[in-house]
Amino acid sequence: MKRSVYNILKGTFLVSDDAFKNWRMILFISVLAIVMIASSHSADRKVHLIAKLNNEVKELRSAFVEGRGKLMRLKKESTVEIKMKEKGIVLSEIPPTKIKVKSKN
């Protein structure tokens, strides 16, 4: 047991006669590790992009709701009346009447 650990630490399994099997396995494991690291980096990049886009969606939704509320306040009859008084236009005291047109058919 002590001798096998010493041989591993010394690296004799890499230079022995049947070392080709060991090198193939080491290369295979190294390639798998590189692929796993690249996949992890790609996933992290996507997670950061998703978080950024979610924040942008929240900001845009907030701006939309704020704009819609402002529009609703501007469309109120009282607000329109105040704006028109500033320009010299006032509400009519006489209610509108319906005009009926009869065609000659």
Q: pLDDT for 29-60, tens place per residue?
A: 999 999 999 999 999 999 999 999 999 999 99
Average of per-residue pLDDT across 88-104: 87
Total count of domains within the chain: 1
Q: How many CA atoms lie within 13 A of 51 on its CB side?
A: 6
Domain membership of residue 94 (yes or no) is no
Q: For residue 7, give the amino acid letter.
A: N
Is-above-0.75 flag for pTM? Answer: no
Quick check: is 76 in a domain? yes
Two tokens, residue 65: 């709701």
Predicted confidence at residue 4, as pLDDT, reads 77
Quick one: pLDDT at residue 8? Answer: 74
Q: Is residue 96 part of a domain?
A: no
Whether 44 is covered by a domain: the verdict is yes
**Residue 25 lies inside a defined structural domain of this protein:** yes
Range of the domain at 80: 2-86
